[in-house]
Amino acid sequence: MIRYRVTVLELMKRIESQAPGWLEKARNWTDKARKVKKFVEGGPPWRDVKSVFTELQSSKCLYCERCLPRAPISDVERDVEHYRPKKAVHSWPPAASKRDLGLISGFPLGSASAEGYYLLAHNVLNYGASCKTCNSSLKGDRFPIAGPRRTQEDDVRKLRAEKPYLLFPIGDYADTDDPEDLIGFLGTTPIVKVANGHAHRRALVTIGFFQLDRDDLQRERAHVLTTLWEAYEDLQRHRSKKRRMVAKLKIDHLLSGKWHHTSCARAYYALLQTDRAQAEQYYDLSVRMAFR
Ligand SMILES: [Zn+2]
Protein backbone atom coordinates (compact mmCIF):
# COMPACT_ATOMS: atom_id res chain seq x y z
CA MET A 1 0.00 0.00 0.00
CA ILE A 2 1.36 3.45 -0.88
CA ARG A 3 0.14 6.99 -0.32
CA TYR A 4 -1.58 8.81 -3.25
CA ARG A 5 -0.88 12.49 -2.79
CA VAL A 6 -3.73 14.88 -3.47
CA THR A 7 -5.19 17.89 -1.66
CA VAL A 8 -8.90 18.30 -0.95
CA LEU A 9 -9.01 21.23 -3.39
CA GLU A 10 -7.29 19.25 -6.15
CA LEU A 11 -9.62 16.29 -5.61
CA MET A 12 -12.69 18.53 -5.80
CA LYS A 13 -11.41 20.08 -9.04
CA ARG A 14 -10.90 16.64 -10.56
CA ILE A 15 -14.40 15.52 -9.54
CA GLU A 16 -16.02 18.67 -10.90
CA SER A 17 -14.12 18.34 -14.17
CA GLN A 18 -15.09 14.67 -14.58
CA ALA A 19 -18.72 15.03 -13.49
CA PRO A 20 -19.90 18.67 -13.51
CA GLY A 21 -22.59 19.27 -10.87
CA TRP A 22 -21.95 15.97 -9.07
CA LEU A 23 -20.61 17.62 -5.91
CA GLU A 24 -23.63 19.89 -5.54
CA LYS A 25 -26.03 16.96 -6.00
CA ALA A 26 -24.00 15.04 -3.43
CA ARG A 27 -24.32 17.87 -0.90
CA ASN A 28 -28.09 17.99 -1.43
CA TRP A 29 -28.35 14.22 -1.01
CA THR A 30 -26.33 14.37 2.21
CA ASP A 31 -28.78 16.98 3.53
CA LYS A 32 -31.63 14.52 2.85
CA ALA A 33 -29.81 11.82 4.81
CA ARG A 34 -29.15 14.25 7.67
CA LYS A 35 -32.87 15.02 7.95
CA VAL A 36 -34.00 11.38 8.11
CA LYS A 37 -30.88 10.22 10.03
CA LYS A 38 -30.14 7.28 7.74
CA PHE A 39 -28.77 6.36 4.33
CA VAL A 40 -31.08 7.39 1.48
CA GLU A 41 -31.05 5.27 -1.69
CA GLY A 42 -30.52 7.04 -5.00
CA GLY A 43 -28.45 10.18 -5.24
CA PRO A 44 -25.68 10.94 -7.75
CA PRO A 45 -24.16 7.65 -8.97
CA TRP A 46 -20.75 6.73 -7.58
CA ARG A 47 -19.73 5.25 -10.94
CA ASP A 48 -19.68 8.81 -12.36
CA VAL A 49 -16.61 9.65 -10.26
CA LYS A 50 -14.89 6.26 -10.33
CA SER A 51 -12.42 7.23 -13.04
CA VAL A 52 -11.10 10.12 -10.89
CA PHE A 53 -9.88 7.59 -8.32
CA THR A 54 -8.74 5.13 -10.98
CA GLU A 55 -6.46 7.82 -12.42
CA LEU A 56 -5.30 9.12 -9.04
CA GLN A 57 -4.31 5.59 -7.97
CA SER A 58 -2.58 4.72 -11.27
CA SER A 59 -5.34 2.15 -11.79
CA LYS A 60 -4.25 0.17 -8.71
CA CYS A 61 -6.37 -1.21 -5.89
CA LEU A 62 -6.29 1.13 -2.90
CA TYR A 63 -5.47 -1.68 -0.48
CA CYS A 64 -3.69 -4.61 -2.14
CA GLU A 65 -1.87 -2.57 -4.83
CA ARG A 66 -2.87 -4.89 -7.65
CA CYS A 67 -3.01 -3.26 -11.09
CA LEU A 68 -6.46 -3.33 -12.64
CA PRO A 69 -7.11 -2.56 -16.33
CA ARG A 70 -7.77 1.10 -17.16
CA ALA A 71 -10.18 0.60 -20.06
CA PRO A 72 -13.77 1.73 -19.36
CA ILE A 73 -14.98 -1.78 -20.27
CA SER A 74 -12.94 -3.07 -17.31
CA ASP A 75 -14.60 -0.77 -14.78
CA VAL A 76 -16.56 -3.76 -13.48
CA GLU A 77 -13.34 -5.06 -11.94
CA ARG A 78 -13.14 -2.22 -9.42
CA ASP A 79 -15.53 -0.55 -7.00
CA VAL A 80 -15.83 2.94 -5.65
CA GLU A 81 -14.90 2.00 -2.13
CA HIS A 82 -16.51 3.76 0.84
CA TYR A 83 -13.74 3.77 3.45
CA ARG A 84 -16.32 4.17 6.21
CA PRO A 85 -19.40 2.03 5.38
CA LYS A 86 -22.39 4.05 4.19
CA LYS A 87 -24.95 1.73 5.84
CA ALA A 88 -24.87 -0.70 8.76
CA VAL A 89 -21.44 -1.53 10.17
CA HIS A 90 -20.82 -5.10 11.25
CA SER A 91 -18.13 -6.14 13.67
CA TRP A 92 -14.82 -7.60 12.56
CA PRO A 93 -13.50 -10.22 12.70
CA PRO A 94 -16.58 -12.43 12.43
CA ALA A 95 -16.79 -14.75 15.47
CA ALA A 96 -16.12 -17.81 13.31
CA SER A 97 -12.72 -16.54 12.17
CA LYS A 98 -11.44 -15.18 15.50
CA ARG A 99 -9.43 -18.28 16.33
CA ASP A 100 -7.56 -17.92 13.01
CA LEU A 101 -6.53 -14.37 13.83
CA GLY A 102 -4.85 -14.93 17.17
CA LEU A 103 -2.41 -12.03 16.83
CA ILE A 104 -5.26 -9.59 16.44
CA SER A 105 -7.29 -10.75 19.41
CA GLY A 106 -6.89 -9.07 22.78
CA PHE A 107 -7.69 -5.49 21.86
CA PRO A 108 -10.99 -3.73 21.02
CA LEU A 109 -12.06 -3.57 17.36
CA GLY A 110 -15.15 -1.37 17.68
CA SER A 111 -18.85 -1.93 18.07
CA ALA A 112 -21.34 -2.61 15.29
CA SER A 113 -23.69 0.17 14.14
CA ALA A 114 -27.17 -0.15 12.66
CA GLU A 115 -27.14 3.18 10.84
CA GLY A 116 -23.51 3.32 9.68
CA TYR A 117 -21.82 6.46 8.33
CA TYR A 118 -24.78 7.63 6.26
CA LEU A 119 -23.47 11.23 6.19
CA LEU A 120 -20.40 10.02 4.28
CA ALA A 121 -22.26 8.08 1.58
CA HIS A 122 -21.86 11.02 -0.80
CA ASN A 123 -18.62 12.51 0.54
CA VAL A 124 -15.72 12.04 -1.90
CA LEU A 125 -13.22 12.35 0.96
CA ASN A 126 -14.52 8.92 2.02
CA TYR A 127 -13.84 7.32 -1.39
CA GLY A 128 -11.15 5.33 -3.13
CA ALA A 129 -11.09 2.67 -5.85
CA SER A 130 -10.49 -0.91 -4.84
CA CYS A 131 -10.60 -4.36 -6.38
CA LYS A 132 -13.63 -6.58 -5.93
CA THR A 133 -11.68 -8.97 -3.69
CA CYS A 134 -10.66 -6.26 -1.22
CA ASN A 135 -13.97 -4.40 -1.27
CA SER A 136 -16.64 -7.03 -1.71
CA SER A 137 -15.08 -10.25 -0.41
CA LEU A 138 -12.92 -8.91 2.44
CA LYS A 139 -14.15 -5.50 3.59
CA GLY A 140 -17.85 -5.27 2.89
CA ASP A 141 -19.52 -3.31 5.70
CA ARG A 142 -16.79 -3.77 8.31
CA PHE A 143 -14.71 -0.96 9.76
CA PRO A 144 -12.72 -1.83 12.89
CA ILE A 145 -11.75 1.05 15.17
CA ALA A 146 -10.02 1.50 18.54
CA GLY A 147 -12.04 4.50 19.79
CA PRO A 148 -15.75 5.25 20.15
CA ARG A 149 -17.72 5.07 16.90
CA ARG A 150 -18.97 8.49 15.72
CA THR A 151 -21.48 7.82 12.95
CA GLN A 152 -23.09 11.27 13.30
CA GLU A 153 -19.86 13.09 12.41
CA ASP A 154 -19.38 14.19 8.79
CA ASP A 155 -15.94 15.85 9.08
CA VAL A 156 -13.39 13.23 8.05
CA ARG A 157 -10.62 15.08 9.92
CA LYS A 158 -12.53 14.89 13.21
CA LEU A 159 -13.23 11.22 12.53
CA ARG A 160 -9.54 10.46 13.00
CA ALA A 161 -10.48 10.46 16.72
CA GLU A 162 -12.15 7.09 16.12
CA LYS A 163 -8.63 5.68 15.70
CA PRO A 164 -9.45 3.45 12.73
CA TYR A 165 -7.34 0.37 12.19
CA LEU A 166 -7.56 0.22 8.40
CA LEU A 167 -5.09 2.50 6.65
CA PHE A 168 -6.50 4.97 4.11
CA PRO A 169 -3.80 6.12 1.69
CA ILE A 170 -5.49 8.91 -0.31
CA GLY A 171 -4.32 12.43 0.58
CA ASP A 172 -3.82 13.16 4.26
CA TYR A 173 -7.26 14.49 5.13
CA ALA A 174 -8.71 11.25 6.52
CA ASP A 175 -5.47 9.59 7.60
CA THR A 176 -2.03 11.04 8.29
CA ASP A 177 -0.18 7.71 8.65
CA ASP A 178 1.92 6.81 5.62
CA PRO A 179 1.33 3.10 4.90
CA GLU A 180 4.99 2.62 3.96
CA ASP A 181 6.01 3.74 7.47
CA LEU A 182 3.82 1.05 9.04
CA ILE A 183 3.96 -1.92 6.66
CA GLY A 184 7.23 -3.25 5.24
CA PHE A 185 8.25 -6.45 3.46
CA LEU A 186 10.60 -9.37 3.94
CA GLY A 187 10.89 -10.42 0.32
CA THR A 188 7.28 -10.76 -0.78
CA THR A 189 5.78 -11.07 2.71
CA PRO A 190 4.24 -8.01 4.40
CA ILE A 191 5.45 -7.26 7.94
CA VAL A 192 4.61 -4.77 10.69
CA LYS A 193 7.34 -2.10 10.92
CA VAL A 194 6.25 -0.40 14.16
CA ALA A 195 7.02 -2.15 17.44
CA ASN A 196 4.05 -1.07 19.53
CA GLY A 197 1.12 1.30 20.03
CA HIS A 198 -1.82 2.05 17.73
CA ALA A 199 0.42 2.25 14.64
CA HIS A 200 1.59 -1.31 15.33
CA ARG A 201 -1.99 -2.52 15.62
CA ARG A 202 -3.05 -0.63 12.49
CA ALA A 203 -0.44 -2.43 10.45
CA LEU A 204 -1.32 -5.77 12.03
CA VAL A 205 -5.06 -5.37 11.40
CA THR A 206 -4.65 -3.98 7.87
CA ILE A 207 -2.45 -6.94 6.85
CA GLY A 208 -4.85 -9.44 8.45
CA PHE A 209 -8.06 -7.77 7.29
CA PHE A 210 -7.07 -7.58 3.61
CA GLN A 211 -5.02 -10.79 3.75
CA LEU A 212 -2.09 -8.94 2.23
CA ASP A 213 -0.03 -12.12 2.52
CA ARG A 214 -2.38 -14.04 0.22
CA ASP A 215 -0.79 -16.30 -2.34
CA ASP A 216 -1.83 -14.43 -5.49
CA LEU A 217 -0.35 -11.16 -4.21
CA GLN A 218 2.89 -12.80 -3.11
CA ARG A 219 3.28 -14.39 -6.52
CA GLU A 220 2.83 -11.05 -8.30
CA ARG A 221 5.36 -9.48 -5.92
CA ALA A 222 7.77 -12.33 -6.73
CA HIS A 223 7.67 -11.26 -10.39
CA VAL A 224 8.40 -7.69 -9.36
CA LEU A 225 11.36 -8.78 -7.22
CA THR A 226 12.92 -10.95 -9.92
CA THR A 227 12.62 -8.11 -12.42
CA LEU A 228 14.16 -5.66 -9.95
CA TRP A 229 17.10 -7.94 -9.08
CA GLU A 230 17.91 -8.65 -12.73
CA ALA A 231 17.58 -5.00 -13.70
CA TYR A 232 19.83 -3.96 -10.80
CA GLU A 233 22.44 -6.53 -11.86
CA ASP A 234 22.28 -5.32 -15.47
CA LEU A 235 22.63 -1.71 -14.38
CA GLN A 236 25.73 -2.50 -12.32
CA ARG A 237 27.65 -4.70 -14.69
CA HIS A 238 26.15 -5.35 -18.13
CA ARG A 239 28.48 -4.54 -21.05
CA SER A 240 25.63 -3.42 -23.32
CA LYS A 241 24.72 0.26 -22.97
CA LYS A 242 21.21 -0.55 -24.21
CA ARG A 243 20.72 -3.21 -21.52
CA ARG A 244 21.88 -0.76 -18.84
CA MET A 245 19.49 1.86 -20.18
CA VAL A 246 16.53 -0.58 -20.20
CA ALA A 247 17.49 -1.71 -16.68
CA LYS A 248 17.29 1.90 -15.46
CA LEU A 249 13.87 2.27 -17.11
CA LYS A 250 12.60 -0.87 -15.38
CA ILE A 251 13.86 0.19 -11.95
CA ASP A 252 12.43 3.69 -12.25
CA HIS A 253 9.07 2.30 -13.35
CA LEU A 254 8.83 -0.28 -10.58
CA LEU A 255 9.63 2.34 -7.92
CA SER A 256 7.50 5.12 -9.41
CA GLY A 257 4.12 4.05 -8.04
CA LYS A 258 2.71 3.45 -11.52
CA TRP A 259 2.99 -0.36 -11.45
CA HIS A 260 1.68 -2.88 -8.97
CA HIS A 261 3.22 -3.62 -5.55
CA THR A 262 5.35 -0.47 -5.37
CA SER A 263 5.66 -0.67 -1.57
CA CYS A 264 7.19 -4.15 -1.84
CA ALA A 265 9.45 -3.02 -4.71
CA ARG A 266 10.74 -0.04 -2.74
CA ALA A 267 11.48 -2.18 0.32
CA TYR A 268 13.37 -4.68 -1.83
CA TYR A 269 15.31 -1.96 -3.65
CA ALA A 270 16.48 -0.56 -0.31
CA LEU A 271 17.65 -4.05 0.67
CA LEU A 272 19.50 -4.48 -2.64
CA GLN A 273 21.65 -1.51 -1.74
CA THR A 274 22.35 -2.51 1.86
CA ASP A 275 22.40 -6.33 2.04
CA ARG A 276 23.06 -7.97 -1.31
CA ALA A 277 23.35 -11.48 0.15
CA GLN A 278 19.90 -11.27 1.77
CA ALA A 279 18.47 -9.74 -1.39
CA GLU A 280 19.85 -12.65 -3.42
CA GLN A 281 18.14 -15.12 -1.07
CA TYR A 282 14.80 -13.37 -1.68
CA TYR A 283 15.54 -13.39 -5.42
CA ASP A 284 16.07 -17.17 -5.35
CA LEU A 285 12.84 -17.65 -3.38
CA SER A 286 10.97 -15.32 -5.75
CA VAL A 287 12.14 -17.22 -8.83
CA ARG A 288 10.78 -20.44 -7.37
CA MET A 289 7.53 -18.75 -6.36
CA ALA A 290 6.93 -16.80 -9.58
CA PHE A 291 7.73 -19.52 -12.11
CA ARG A 292 6.42 -22.64 -10.41
ZN1 LIG B 1 -7.38 -5.16 -3.70
**Dist. CA 46–CA 215, nearest whole Å:** 31
Domain layout of the chain by residue ranges:
8-209, 215-290
CA of 229 to the centre of ligand 1 (A): 25
pLDDT of residue 69: 84
- Angle at 101 (CA atoms; ends 100, 105), nearest 5 degrees: 130
CA of 65 to the centre of ligand 1 (A): 6
* Whether the Cβ atoms of residue 128 and residue 62 lie closer than 8 Å to each other: yes
CA of 55 to the centre of ligand 1 (A): 16
Beta partners for 142? 90
pLDDT of residue 273: 94
Tell me the mean pLDDT per 10 residues along the chain, length 292.
97 97 96 94 93 95 93 84 94 66 69 93 96 94 94 95 96 95 98 95 94 96 98 96 98 96 98 97 97 88
pLDDT of residue 105: 63
Q: What is the pTM of this model?
A: 0.93
CA of 63 to the centre of ligand 1 (A): 5
pLDDT of residue 94: 65
CA of 16 to the centre of ligand 1 (A): 26
Q: What are the CB-based long-range contacts (under 8 Å, 24+) for 228-231?
A: 228/254, 228/265, 228/268, 228/269, 228/272, 229/268, 229/272, 229/279, 229/280, 229/283, 229/286
Helix 262-274 to helix 215-237 angle, to the nearest 10 degrees? 40
CA of 75 to the centre of ligand 1 (A): 14
CA of 79 to the centre of ligand 1 (A): 10
100: burial class by Cβ within 10 Å (0-12, 13-18, 19+)? exposed
CA of 224 to the centre of ligand 1 (A): 17
Dump strand ranges (E) for the chain: 78-82, 127-131, 183-186, 189-192
- The SS3 assignment for 193 reads coil
CA of 136 to the centre of ligand 1 (A): 10
CA of 223 to the centre of ligand 1 (A): 18
pLDDT of residue 77: 85
Provide the greatest CA pair distance for the chain. 71
CA of 104 to the centre of ligand 1 (A): 21
pLDDT of residue 292: 84
pLDDT of residue 290: 94
CA of 138 to the centre of ligand 1 (A): 9
